[in-house]
Structure 1
Amino acid sequence: MTATWRRRVLVVEDHALLRSLVAEAFTQRGFEVAASPSAVEALRVLDDADPDLLVTDIDLGSRPNGVELATILRERAPQIAVLFLSNLSLEAAAAQARDTVAGASFVNKGAIASVDELVDAAEAVLTDRPVRHVSGAEGAQGALLRLSTAQRETTRLLAEGLTNAEIARRRGVSVRAVEKSVARVFQALGLVGDDATAPRVAAATLYTATYGNPRSGL
């Protein structure tokens, strides 16, 4: 009797409930599923899982992150399809991935109504149809994504909790130069002129919500 070939997916998600829901949805669609809470664990089960598809969050709470995991898997198995599941906007997710994971697709967790939509996206990825389920970036988040590279780096360091003096030491510039850069960031993000808003806290919160926690190494 000929065995039926089943597509294999490796799901990597550090939130236990979501990981379970996603794994169950893929199982119901006929996939053979391996699920891991971290990239380290995923690499341990990789040979046995032998996946056709990797579905991974970008921010896994520890290193390697999802982008690094996908890069490692692609080096071992160039044909593997990759679907990033993330809270990040498309622009932020693409900035994380850069050019290291060619052809990867992105699904924003807030842009899908159910795990079935996620599996539909995975089906598309497996047939070489890239997907982009994303939330629109408007307002302050849109302004953050339009910052220059230098300004975005300043905002990242703010999100790390660094003072202006610490940022100056980290970047090898004067404190005055950092003060000017921070002021330009606040202006660009619309965080000036409101006495009720603490610009430094607001900028750090916005960066973390958009790009993930910089302290996690992402």
Structure 2
Amino acid sequence: MAVGTWRRRVLVVEDHALMRSLVADAFAQRGFEISTAPSAVEALRLVDSADPDLLVTDIDLGSRPNGVELATILRERAPHIAVMFLSNLSREAAAAQARDTVEGASFVNKGAIGSVAELVDAAEAVLADRPVEHLSGASGAQGALLRLSPAQRETTRLLAAGLTNAEIARRRGVSVRAVEKSVERVFQALGLTGDDGIAPRVAAATLYTATFGDPEAGL
């Protein structure tokens, strides 16, 4: 697989079936891998297998947990999941509901978007928010590392710090299988197959450390 060809994953949570379908189709057409759920309860059942880079959720889901509560739970499991809230509330009112709860979340007013394509554009902007601007022009494996989602990059950091899949699973509060799938996607994104005689885990750790420095900082 070519470096950087892995598909970003989005979990769409919306209790209105038509809106859920429209949003999911728009993301799929843009190349995202999609999982959908009509409620927070169903989303929580899916999240280990979905392993999303981005959560797109209405705030009012018609039942509890609501979208803010769902995002809070997911952030506790995987702090680097990007979050976009859909709402009929104004941006200010929606933000007030989630203030000090879901850091860095984006808010989109349903009535203000002209098409679902605009929603995907907004999501692209959320996912493009990178903390390593000085390296944004990198190419090859390093460029692929910088293009990983925050969640994928955190997985790579934990690998580089020497954590096993089981230890990463305990830290993130997800299943070992979910971590295994996430690690596989990281290796695919970085073009690490082991064909050159170097174990992908070792190669990913070396690449992370060369790019970002000590992976154990903050552990």
- For this structure pair, what is the TM-score category when the shorter chain's length is used for normalisation? 0.5 to 0.7
TM-score with structure 2 length normalisation? 0.57
* One-letter amino acid of the counterpart of residue 44, structure 1: R
Q: Corresponding residue for 1:38?
A: 39
Q: Corresponding residue for 2:133?
A: none
Q: Corresponding residue for 2:70?
A: 69
Q: Deviations over 1:116-142 (max 9, x none)?
A: 00000000000128xxxxxxxxxxxxx
What percentage of residue pairs aligned between the two structures are identical? 85
Q: Corresponding residue for 2:109?
A: 108
Highest CA radius of gyration, 1 or 2?
Answer: 1
Whether 1:20 and 2:21 are equivalent positions in the alignment is yes
* One-letter amino acid of the counterpart of residue 72, structure 1: I
Deviation at 1:90, TM superposition (A): 1.3
Q: Distance in 1 between matches of 2:86 and 2:18?
A: 14
Q: Deviations over 1:28-74 (max 9, x none)?
A: 00000001000000000000000000000000000000000000010
Whether 1:53 and 2:54 are equivalent positions in the alignment is yes
Please, which runs of 5 or more residues in structure 1 have no aligned partner?
A: 130-218
Higher relative contact order (CA 8 A, sep 6+): 2
Q: Corresponding residue for 2:120?
A: 119
| Count of paired positions | 129
Q: Distance in 1 between matches of 2:105 and 2:2?
A: 33
Q: Deviations over 1:159-214 (max 9, x none)?
A: xxxxxxxxxxxxxxxxxxxxxxxxxxxxxxxxxxxxxxxxxxxxxxxxxxxxxxxx
Q: Distance in 1 between matches of 2:21 and 2:52?
A: 18
Q: Distance in 2 between matches of 1:58 and 1:108?
A: 11
Q: Distance in 1 between matches of 2:74 and 2:43?
A: 10
Whether 1:87 and 2:124 are equivalent positions in the alignment is no
Give RMSD over aligned pairs.
Answer: 1.3
TM-score with structure 1 length normalisation? 0.58
Q: Distance in 1 between matches of 2:41 and 2:88?
A: 21
Q: Distance in 1 between matches of 2:109 and 2:14?
A: 14
Please, which runs of 5 or more residues in structure 2 have no aligned partner?
A: 131-219
Q: Distance in 2 between matches of 1:17 and 1:104?
A: 24
Q: Deviations over 1:97-131 (max 9, x none)?
A: 021000000000010000000000000000128xx
* One-letter amino acid of the counterpart of residue 57, structure 1: D
After superposing on structure 2, the runs of 4+ consecutive aligned residues of structure 1 that deviate more than 6 Å are none
